[in-house]
Amino acid sequence: MRRRDFLKTAGAVTGASVLPFLKFLPAEAAGRSDTLVVVAGQGINSLDLHRKGTNRPSYQVTVNIYDRLVRFGVTELKDGSLSYDSTKIEPEVAESWTTSKDGKSLTFKISPKAKFWDGSPVTAHDVKWSFDRAVSLGGFPAVQMKAGSMTKPEQFVVVDDMTFRIDLPKPSKLTLPDLAVPIPFIINSKVAKAKATEKDPWATEYLHKNPAGSGAYKIARWDPGQQFVYERNEDWALGTKPGVKRVIVREVPSASTRRALTERGDADLYMNVPAKDAKEFKEGGKIKVSGAPIDNCLHVLGLNLKHKPFDNKKVRQAIAFALPYKEIVEAAAYGRGKPMYGAKEMTPSTIKWPQPFPYDTDFDKAKALLTEAGFGKGFETTLSYNLGLADWQEPTALLIQEALGKIGIKVTLDKIPGANWRTAALVKKSLPMHLENFGGWLNYPDYYFFWAYKYGHLFNSSNYKNPEVEKLVDETLHMSVEDPLYAANVMKMISIAFEDVPRIPLYQPYLDSAMQKSVEGYASWFHRQLDCRTISKA
């Protein structure tokens, strides 16, 4: 009765966009204990994360259908939510590993339990072919592998069928955790090689639509723009067997429709819930909300140093003192964000990251700094934001526009469609003032600085260039945290970021998901995508 009633009222309550969802959804799927129905705002565009142009939602496919040598563990937070644990590395395809005395080689023993979907064993040859592919195809995967000091196929050595070795130019604290991120997944090389061609030696066209993995789930169906379906791999033996047999992930662009489907029980899990909805779900008490601050992640206001007057440090500091931080956290994060303002000292006393910056709303300081910079009468500029992230960026942009007007800076808002954002903000780096978000997959402050503060790197959308920061990052990135120089270097980096503020932190966002009370085992992950393997339904 509930579903029939919902069909009658769907047009009035949630709009016609709900109808495709119901067309493809098996009858009463959300009520079955063996099936998980998930709604997400954006769907996948490939089954191959190494392929150029693969979008962020597709990362989750790699997580669920492929295995890696190692994986991160899961921990329970104070509020009972589950989150990945960046400090815990667990076996997956590798049943064990050792590090050479000089720290420059890691040797992995392949588990005999690791089997591809066709029943063949996972071997060191498959691992090498997959890693060779990751560093050879270029783009984001190759850069991510580089973060762990893995850049050349010659570094990956087949010792024997069940033993694999990685040789490093120098010891690095990042190599092992970098093996647990989505990129270094292991492909059935025999299947892939059979589909490779002279023009496509890495079988990218085949693997784009035809995965060849060993993971806990297989892809049973993919209707681009509508849905994809996971089926549990009943032979998977590298961990506890997943609690649900089938996972249906539906693409529902409208946030209001995703919320309505969740409230009515037609969806079990709603990924990446806007902060306002998360707050109201929690207050309502009928829907569970699980979330945690995203490690190594910040929502920021970026000031592009290639656009005047943002090349003037005093102008950047003036803006940092003019921002309405408290109002932004209230209006954009609805309490689901950790404030990153109000520190009392310009010099950090800890390497904790993210940490609050030494700025708070002070219009008198802001005006004084603008005057010192030669802009006492203000200036005009543009603030760009991503319409695909309008739930937090639009209210933030409006508040910034109003606040900067109080110190004489006239701001015109520039709304950019989500599909065009990456090119404008990160590739061309052409936006003078803009809202941006970056979260580093490896939970170290120097790793964040590597991506967001080094000139030319993808997430340095401010075109910030500081030789001292570059030197500190290069010296620290692979350094052990126990090294006496590590803390000193990191605090120096943070201190420079405090003073130069090319990126003005607003808050550390939460990753929130809403679910029916029958859903158990959901965990938040650094990659912000769905990992089905720990989930069950009561």
DSSP string, 381-447: EEEEEEGGGHHHHHHHHHHHHHHHHTTTEEEEEEEE-HHHHIIIIIIS---SEEEEEEE-SS--HHH
Domains of the chain with bracketed CATH: 88-196 (3.90.76.10), 297-509 (3.10.105.10)
Tens of each residue's pLDDT in the chain, 538 residues: 333 443 333 333 333 334 444 444 554 566 688 999 999 988 899 999 999 888 888 999 999 999 999 999 999 988 888 899 999 999 999 999 999 999 999 999 999 999 999 999 999 999 999 999 999 999 889 989 999 999 999 999 999 999 999 999 999 999 999 999 999 999 999 999 999 999 999 999 999 999 999 999 999 999 999 999 999 999 999 999 999 999 999 999 899 999 999 999 999 999 989 999 999 999 999 999 998 889 999 999 999 999 999 999 999 999 999 999 999 999 999 988 999 999 999 999 999 999 999 999 999 999 999 999 999 999 999 999 999 889 999 999 999 999 999 999 999 999 999 889 989 999 999 999 999 999 999 999 999 999 999 999 989 999 999 999 999 999 999 999 999 999 999 999 999 999 999 999 999 999 999 999 999 999 999 999 999 999 999 8
| 464, 453 contact by CB (below 8 A) | yes
Closest CA to 244 of 233, 254, 253, 257: 233
Indicate the burial class of 39 (C-beta count within 10 angstroms; 0-12, 13-18, 19 or more): buried
H-run or E-run covering 23: helix 18-24
Query: Hey, which residues does 217 pair with through a beta bridge?
Result: 232
Rounded Cα distance between 301 and 506, Å, is 7
Question: What is the SS3 assignment for 70?
Answer: strand
b/e burial code for range 150-184 (CB count within 10 A of at least 16 → b) = beeeebbebeeebbbbbbbeebbbbbbbbbbbbbb
Rounded Cα distance between 525 and 180, Å, is 12
**Could you tell me the pTM of the whole model?**
0.88
The two tokens of residue 521 are 């085992």
Rounded Cα distance between 228 and 60, Å, is 12
Rounded Cα distance between 337 and 176, Å, is 30
